[in-house]
Amino acid sequence: MATNEKRQENRILSNREIRARDVRLIDADGTNLGIFQYFKALNLAQDQGLDLILINPASNPPICKVGDVGKYKYEMQKRAKEQSKKSRETRVEIKEVQLRPGIDKHDLDTKIKHIKEWLVDGDRVKIVVKFRGREMANTAAGAVLIDNILTEVPEAKVEGNREMQGNRLTATLFQGKQK
């Protein structure tokens, strides 16, 4: 039922599907023709070989446009696709790097290289230092590891505080040049 209601909501009404006595009419080139009775507006559109499309049913009187329904639907789909593309581009992702306190120098350098790439792309980076067993007795080693990463990546700033969550020490980094 819910999908059927959505289809009804997103459906573009045209020609005989429009239920209004008077409509504000917009010509095919976008000029406002004024308020017409529904049947006069429909006859005007059909005389031009075009359709009467309901643009804004909420206004009083409803706004209708003279044009091709198929072309209008295509333009609306293109506009919606472009809008969703823009919203995806502005979204910031959080990338995660997992480390252990005894990580080797070369492995750490590789992780730092990835962190730099992600920060340049505008993403946030969550660093997670995992402790196992006896490593929990020396959680300061994790803090030193995060400090080493911050010295290697000078443009990174820590968002909030470092947190110890169970057996994990976490810190979220972002590029410091952001406002």
Number of domains in the chain: 2
Give the pTM: 0.52
| 100 shares its domain with 25 | no
Q: What is the DSSP letter of 92?
A: P
| 153 shares its domain with 98 | yes
Q: Which among 88, 111, 142 is the end of a domain?
A: 88
13 pLDDT band, cuts 50/70/90, is: confident
Q: Report the distance separating Cα 136 and Cα 130, nearest Å.
A: 9
138 pLDDT band, cuts 50/70/90, is: confident
| 107 shares its domain with 149 | yes
| 104 shares its domain with 163 | yes
Average of pLDDT values for 69-81? Answer: 88
Q: Is the dihedral of CA 7, 8, 12, 17 positive or negative?
A: positive
Q: Are 57 and 96 in contact (CB under 8 A)?
A: no
- Residues 87-135: tens digit of each pLDDT: 766 677 889 999 999 889 999 999 999 999 988 888 889 999 999 988 8
178 pLDDT band, cuts 50/70/90, is: very low
β-pairing verdict for 94-99 and 63-67: unpaired
| 133 shares its domain with 82 | no
Half-sphere exposure of 30 (CA within 13 A, CB side): 1
| 32 shares its domain with 73 | yes
Q: Is 138 exposed, middle or buried (0-12, 13-18, 19+ CB in 10 A)?
A: exposed
| 71 shares its domain with 101 | no
∠ CA 83-85-87, rounded to 5° = 70
| 165 shares its domain with 151 | yes
| 69 shares its domain with 105 | no
Average of pLDDT values for 55-81? Answer: 87
Q: Are 170 and 156 in contact (CB under 8 A)?
A: no
| 71 shares its domain with 102 | no
Domain CATH number, residue 6: 3.10.20.80
Q: Which among 36, 54, 88 is the end of a domain?
A: 88
Domain CATH number, residue 170: 3.30.110.10
Q: Which among 56, 88, 120 is the end of a domain?
A: 88
Q: Are 131 and 101 in contact (CB under 8 A)?
A: yes
| 49 shares its domain with 106 | no
Domain range enclosing 110: 94-175
Neighbours of 21 (CB within 10 A): 9
For residue 26, give the nearest of 75, 65, 56, 79 by alpha carbon.
65
